[in-house]
Amino acid sequence: MKQSFDAIVVGAGPAGSSAALTMARAGLKVALLERGDFPGEKNMFGGVLHRLTALEEAFPDFWNQAPLERHIVKKSLTFMTGESSFNVNFDTEASDRPPYNGYTIYRPRFDRWLAEEAVKAGATLLTRSTVDDVVIEKGKVVGVTMLRDGAELRAPVVIAADGVLSFTAKKAGLRRPKFDPSHQAVGVKAMVDLPKEVIDDRFGLVRDQGASNEIVGCTEGVRGGGYLYTNYDSLSIGLVLHLSSLSQSGKTPYDLLNAFMKQPQMAKMLRGGRLLEYSAHLVPEGGYEMMPEIVGDGILVAGDAAAMCIVTGLNLEGINLATQSGVLAGKAAVEAHAKKDFSRAGLAVYRRMLEESYVLKDLKLYRRTPGMLHNDRIYSQYPEMVCGLMDEIYRIDGAPKDTMTKVLLRAAREKVGLKNLLADVYSGWRAL
Amino acid sequence: MNINPDEIFDTTSFNVDREPHIVLDTEICKKCDQRACVNACPARCYTWSEEDGKMTFVHDGCLECGTCYVVCARDAFTRWRYPRGGFGVSYRMT
């Protein structure tokens, strides 16, 4: 069986569906391929859906249409040790009105909705369609074949939006065949059932307000961090662990997650909850440094497949970049159709549009942060230093006190070392 | 609350394909001195038996995350792909 389309999109995640939506609205005949039973079935993230400015153009009242859980009004950063935690909170009314700055979502619901919008615009969604290979003729990608029945789909342009491992980009020769484990992290997550009222009380929220919490120091020295997010009537709690560090540690993701959930301050937040779902997924944390070629003859790469991920330690961005890149890839394909030029040069407008948008600007700006975060001191010594410092400041034990400066210097010297502290401040300043 | 990967079917849904999407050449694993897959896999699909000097891989509860694909230092896979359409892990909420 051979079928022809104007464009084929591999992967109905945020990048793929955004591309399909853009092209379908422009009148192209688009095939949107999804290997799951439904879009979003295979997707998870440990995260906040940041504001999707690209989709606000497609859906002017995005927040009224998309299936969202809560909008984030309260963001906090926590330094944690086995028994204590030090919190920094940012709570703002500005995030409590549209356009909201970020949301929690369920991927199986959100991704499905976005794909259905692409279908409403005219795209053909083909689920249970795992792509096996790309079809190359005269050096150009002209289609894909399917794993299940060997069916072949043809189109002058293919958009690879097939996620972090992007076998489509690999088969088109656009990405390196082997990944560097220091460029990838694995996210593991537990969904915990809790009534809405309990969540509201525990986190100090009303209506659909949500909270997000990033945690450093909960990974037993493995490079990575933890998170806790409020959905409407459940919590998402998980860890993101760098693969090179996790491999060397000999520790397992589930033991680390179990210990994290039992840490006293976290256990209080989860109390009374029931485990609903356990999930895992890779995160392309290498960002700009691990990006593949994103334009080839007859092919474009978008979203996680193009490693469009920004990690600063305070924020983890991905879906916003994915939807933006998907929209731009769609626009580039539409332009290529107008010019009837699907060569690498003809499709290069995609790269130019990305360079002009925040996507490549931000990826380049934060290209040094993944390297900075490969500093083991961040994951145990600094949380111990901060919590130890607070403990000493607050503790009343009958002994005379030192000046705060002395306490601070002593904690820094004992836990981190002053030379290290200076070096880390410098590398942090350069990277952020 | 505890996550036990041996009871992964209690907390995660699967439509298991009888045809494995990952095939391992366990002879290569014997010569590996790292075996990062054993500890790094979030679903404990890999088990190394020191006694038998043997690696076992079970694909049933695979979360399709790709961790093993990235951490394997020996390229021990004769096949690593995603399951056929409609098979494999199925997240409902996440």
Q: Which residues pair with A74 in a beta bridge?
A: A91, A211
Encode pLDDT of B5-37 as tens digits.
999 999 999 999 999 999 999 999 999 999 999
For B77-83, what is the mean pLDDT? 96
Closest CA to A50 of A75, A85, A23, A20: A75
Nearest to A281 among B5, B65, B88 (CB): B65
Residue with tokens 């999804």: A34
pLDDT at A373: 87
Tell me if A159 sits within 8 A of A302, measured CB to CB. yes
Sign for the pseudo-dihedral over CA of A402, A406, A409, A414: negative
B11·A276 Cβ contact <8 A: yes
d(CA A205, CA A11): 36
**Tokens coding A104:** 């929690």
Digits of tens for pLDDT over chain A (432 positions)? 689 999 999 999 999 999 999 999 999 999 999 999 999 999 999 889 999 999 999 999 999 999 999 999 999 999 999 999 999 999 999 999 998 999 999 999 999 999 999 999 999 999 999 999 999 999 999 999 999 888 999 999 999 999 999 999 999 999 999 999 999 999 999 999 999 999 999 999 999 999 999 999 999 999 999 999 999 999 999 999 999 999 999 999 999 999 999 999 999 999 999 999 999 999 999 999 999 999 999 999 999 999 999 988 788 899 999 999 999 999 999 999 999 999 999 999 999 999 999 999 999 999 989 888 888 999 989 999 999 999 988 988 888 888 888 888 888 888 888 888 888 888 888 887
pLDDT at A1: 64
Q: Does the CB of A251 have a partner CB in chain B at under 8 Å?
A: yes
pLDDT at B15: 95
Nearest to B40 among A129, A246, A279 (CB): A246
| Helix residue spans in A35-120 (DSSP H) | 53-58, 62-65, 107-120
**Tokens coding B23:** 């095939």
Q: Which residue of A has its CA nearest to B90?
A: A41
Instruction: Give the SS3 label for residue A114.
Output: helix
B66·A282 Cβ contact <8 A: yes
Nearest to B65 among A41, A186, A276 (CB): A186
Tell me if B94 sits within 8 A of A110, measured CB to CB. no
Q: Which residue of A has its CA nearest to B87?
A: A36
Q: Is the pLDDT of residue B84 over 80?
A: yes
B91·A280 Cβ contact <8 A: no
Sign for the pseudo-dihedral over CA of A194, A265, A101, A309: negative
Tell me if A25 sits within 8 A of A175, measured CB to CB. no
